[in-house]
Structure 1
């Protein structure tokens, strides 16, 4: 039962946030290019943090 409530590692949290930002960036790319670019930049920053953990 303990495995059911396993806490996410820092890397897993960042990966989840990265995927969310990429999805938002893609959606925004159809309507607001500038906002899309900002989300993509945020996602890139998160990706760098993930890589630094490795």
Structure 2
């Protein structure tokens, strides 16, 4: 009945994913490749969490 008020858990993760990619891009532009690699790895981890949630949602 109140499912319209439930927040979408993937929405928060997508924002986090986009922020990590943006931070990584800025680090890469500044020449900080180590930070870029760490942020990219975190973004990929977040993306895999999103895929898991979406797979559960589609079932």
- Taking only aligned residues, the RMSD between alpha carbons, in angstroms, comes to 1.3
The residue number in structure 2 matching 1:20 is 19
TM superposition score normalised by structure 2: 0.76
TM-score calculated relative to the size of structure 1: 0.82
- Unaligned ranges ≥5, structure 2: 55-59
Larger Cα Rg: Structure 1 or Structure 2? Answer: 2
The structure with the greater share of residues assigned to helix is: 2
Q: Which runs of 4+ in 1 moved over 6 A?
A: none
How many pairs are equivalent? Answer: 49
User: Which residue of the partner structure matches residue 32 of structure 2?
Assistant: 32
Question: Which stretches in structure 1 are left out of the alignment for 5+ residues?
Answer: 1-5
How far did residue 7 of structure 1 move? 6.3
Structure 1 pair 36/53, CA: closer, same or farther in 2 (3 Å)? same
Q: Comparing 8-17 with 43-52, which one deviates more in the overlay?
A: 8-17
